[in-house]
Every structure is written in C-alpha cells, then in structure tokens.
Structure 1
Amino acid sequence: MAAPSAVLLSEWTKIRSVRSTIWTLVLSFLVTVALGAIICLVFNNTWNSLSSHDQATFDPTATGFAGMQLGQLALIVFGVLVIASEYSTGMIRTSLAAVPQRSAFYTSKVAVAGGLALVVSMATSFVVFFLGQSLLGSHKASIGDPGVLRAIVGAGLYSTLLVLLCVGAAAMLRSPMLGLGILMPFFFLVSPILSAVPKVKSVAHYFPDQAGQQIVRVVPNTDETLSYGPWGGLGIMALWVLAALIGGYVVLRQRDA
C-alpha cells in the first residue's frame, strides 16, 4: 500500500510537470485581475452618466470581481484536465498500477487540485479587490466595510469549489473533450440564459454557479428575491460539489481504467 504522502507528492508532481494545467491557473489569475481592473476603471470614469438607481445600488466589491465570469473559464479547463487528461493519454492505467487503492488515488488528486486552486484563488481574490478598489476612486469599498472581507474570502472559496466540481464531473465523464463539451456550455450558456428567463429563473438560482456567486455580493440585488443568503448560496454550491465528487469516485471504483 502506497504511503499517503507519496501519493500526494506524485499527484503534485503530475500537475506541476504539465504546462497546460499550470498555465490555466496563471491565465485565470491574469484574466480575472485584468478584466476586473478594466471594469472598475470604466465605472469610475463613467460614474456621472449612471442613473440615480444604478448609483444607489452600486456594489464596488462585486464590480471588482466581475472578471470572475471569464476567469472561471480557465478554472474549468484546469479542473477537467487534472483527471480527464490521464484517461485521454492512457496514463490512468499507470497511475492505478502504482496506486491500486483507488480511494487513495482519487482523494490525493482531489486534495492536491483543491489545495492548489485554493492558494491561487485566494491570491487572485485579494489582488482583484485591492487593485479594483484603487481604480474606483471615491466610489471604492474598504476591506473593513460590512460584508467585504466575506466577499473576498468567499470569491476564493467559490473558485476552489468550481475546480472541485469540475474534477468530480470529469472523473465521471472520463474524457477531456466530453467534460469541456458539457461544462463549458452549461456555465457560459445554459445557466446564464435560464437565470434570465422569468419562468425558470427560480430554479436556475439553485445552479452551482448562480448560487455560489452570491457570496461576492455586498449590496443586495433589489431586483430579485432569493430564499438564501451569501453563505447559503455557497453551501448550495458545496452540495453540488459533494455530489460530483462522490459520483466521480463511484465511477472510478466501478469501471475499468
């Protein structure tokens, strides 16, 4: 039986030795920070042209995190490649031969991917906040304001949960193309579209991304009423993640490599 520390080290070595996985995290950081900074700068320069309603409901913290919408694209790719790439290359057979205990193999992969995502996501969140608020001028929020620190930390947790959700889904689908072909349209087409359709948006609010992203809001959205708060939304997303990870493990355990 392989030692847990050795399995963790092997999974860490796999991730850092594959350039595509590392670059997805770097790209996520750059896109989220750059887009958030641009949007904050635009709001600051066009503030006087906003309506009184838009000014009254302006959320400087959530505005800084607007780049997450595009930055999560790279996180989805990272989460899928972490495990599905082993199936596409056939490396999964070697991995399971070296670590026959599939629970140890899967747990280590999830732990390393989640830990790396957490470090990068938290760093991204704090950089995004301080850079974005510096560009908002007098309209900025301070980290000591009510709900702001929760939003910053929550943004990092949201991104980490997104990665873990994709890891679990990719473990069930066992293919990078299939994983990306399902997850990309869901997060960038299906979920946003359904959340804007009046008759089904009450259901779409319980999708993992729609619920989880409520954690970054500090100023409540008066145009919609939710049955859960910021932490409740993140909890809903965590349940989706748990279901995906359990599903991934069941498939890994029951099916041949």
Structure 2
Amino acid sequence: MAAIQVVRSEWTKIRSVASTVWTLSLAVVVTIALGMLISALSRHEYDNMGAGRRLSFDPTYISFAGMSLGQLAMIVFGVLVVSNEYSTGMIRTSLSAVPRRGSFLFSKIAVAAGLALVVGLATSFVTFALGQAVLGSHRAELGDPGVLRAVIGGGLYMTLIAVFSMGVAAMLRSPMLSLGILMPFFFLISNILGNVPATKKVGRYLPDQAGSRIMQVVTPVDDSPPYGPWGGLAIMVGWVAAALAGGYVVLKKRDA
C-alpha cells in the first residue's frame, strides 16, 4: 500500500473513533477552564504576595496551570490511537494490509501527532489569551521576551505527551496496562521525585518536568534547573524518541 494511502487510512481510523475525538475535546476544555480559574485566584492573591514571590510571578506559566490535567486527556488519546486496534483484534487486518510494520506504526503516529499538534497549539494560544485577560493588570503580552516561545512550547508539550504515550502503548499493546503505568508515572511518581529533596535532581530529567520548562518565562531563583527551556524540551524529545523506538522494536519482533 502506498504511503499516502496508509496515511489516509490512519486518518479515517482516528476520526471515526468517538473516544479519540472526545479525549481531545476534553483536553481543550480542561486546560482552558482550569487555567482561567488559577489565573483568577492568582490575580486576587497577588496583592498579598511578598517581594520574593512577586519577583518569581510568571503570568504566562500561571495561565498554563490547567495543562497538568489537560495532559491526562492527551495521554488517553495517545494510548487509544495505538492500542484500540489491539483490543479489538483489528491489528491483524491492518498489518495484513500494510505488511511493512515500520510504515504502519509511523504513519499512525504521524497522523495522530499532527492532529495533537493542531489541537495543542490552538489550546495553548487560547489558554494564554484568556488567562491573561483574567489576570488583568498583572498580565503578560505575547510580544514580551520569552512569551511567544512559551505559548508555542505549550502546544509542543501537549503533542509530545501524546506521542510519548503512543510509544508506550505500542510497547505494551494494552490500553489498560498502558494507562495503568502512565497515569501513576505522571501524576504520582514524577511529582514525588520532583518534590522530595533527595530525588529532585533526578525528577528534573523526567519527560513532563523537563518538557514543562519550555512554558516558563520567569525561573524562580532558588529553583533553577541545570538546563534552559529548549534544553528541557530536548530532554523530553529524547524520552519520546526512546518510547517510539521501543514500540517499533516490539511491533517488529512480536506477532500481532
């Protein structure tokens, strides 16, 4: 099957499954709504902040507070895109139609990643605009130093979270097992490692903590990571590449 036909086939699969559409919609709504809520709370709290907290006040990053829950939906989207065919048994039909397993996997991931990127960038720009509107006089402008990078980075972060989940799902081949590992990893293990002094240096190199650095404009003086925004994103890309490589190896060596 020609590459363009494989891509069209994967696009048809994604848009015909209601669950993937709903998870992307949920990612948008949760990210925007929670970002506005946290922005509103931060605006009212600003006058009570000490001088140190005001110096580290980052209106851009505050508007992305909803990303912590929005990524939950992106994880589910990434897992479902890959593992749905395994759970339904359609993977055998798909691999019969596209015997070249590398082409099959990366066409699927390319289509899903493209969709996640469009949704992620749109969500990031809307989240920033509405969050800054709520912050009022404490707002940041898109033309301020580092702000445009952070907003674009928010869309890239959401996309990479989804693609990382696709790679893990390709390795594990089970939606329940994939979600059972990814959810605790991002919402428990990562937070624990990143906040416990003894493990903080390790936690900084986990995909979500390193990748989220791209959305920060103001770095707290007492909590500066050993890498910059693009360095953090590069670390996250490394995690994604490793997950995709693992997924490819498993698909190549194991029967459907």
What band does the TM-score fall into relative to the shorter chain? over 0.9
**Corresponding position: 1:255 with 2:254:** yes
Separation in 1, partners of 2:65, 2:244: 27
C-alpha displacement of 1:194: 0.9
C-alpha displacement of 1:49: 2.1
C-alpha displacement of 1:223: 2.2
Equivalent in the alignment of 1:189: 188
Equivalent in the alignment of 1:235: 234
C-alpha displacement of 1:225: 3.0
Separation in 1, partners of 2:106, 2:217: 34
Equivalent in the alignment of 2:124: 125
Deviations 1:94-139 (A, max 9, x none): 1111111111101100100100000000000000011100110100
Tell me the TM-score normalized by structure 2: 0.98
**Corresponding position: 1:63 with 2:62:** yes
Separation in 1, partners of 2:240, 2:38: 30
Tell me the TM-score normalized by structure 1: 0.98
Separation in 1, partners of 2:165, 2:142: 30
Over the aligned positions, Cα root-mean-square deviation in angstroms equals: 0.8
Separation in 2, partners of 1:191, 1:173: 20
Which secondary structure does the structure 1 equivalent of 2:180 belong to?
helix
- After TM superposition, the structure 1 stretch with the greater mean CA deviation from structure 2, 232-241 or 217-226, is 217-226
Separation in 2, partners of 1:158, 1:141: 20
Query: Map of 1:37-186 to 2, 5 A cutoff?
Result: 37-186=36-185
Structure 2's unaligned 5+ residue stretches are none
Separation in 2, partners of 1:197, 1:56: 24
Separation in 2, partners of 1:71, 1:50: 28
Separation in 1, partners of 2:4, 2:216: 39
Separation in 1, partners of 2:217, 2:166: 29
Separation in 1, partners of 2:223, 2:137: 28
Which secondary structure does the structure 1 equivalent of 2:223 belong to?
coil
Query: Map of 1:203-242 to 2, 5 A cutoff?
Result: 203-242=202-241
Which secondary structure does the structure 2 equivalent of 1:223 belong to?
helix
Separation in 2, partners of 1:140, 1:167: 36
Separation in 2, partners of 1:157, 1:221: 23
Separation in 2, partners of 1:20, 1:203: 35
Letter in 1 for 2:184: P
Equivalent in the alignment of 2:13: 14
C-alpha displacement of 1:234: 0.2
Letter in 1 for 2:227: Y
C-alpha displacement of 1:227: 1.4
C-alpha displacement of 1:56: 2.1
Letter in 2 for 1:183: L
Deviations 1:69-113 (A, max 9, x none): 010000000000101111111111111111111111011001001
C-alpha displacement of 1:57: 1.3
Which secondary structure does the structure 1 equivalent of 2:198 belong to?
coil
C-alpha displacement of 1:51: 2.4
Which secondary structure does the structure 2 equivalent of 1:46 belong to?
helix
C-alpha displacement of 1:228: 0.6
Letter in 2 for 1:48: D
Which secondary structure does the structure 2 equivalent of 1:146 belong to?
coil
Number of residues of Structure 1 aligned to a counterpart in Structure 2: 256
Separation in 1, partners of 2:50, 2:14: 48
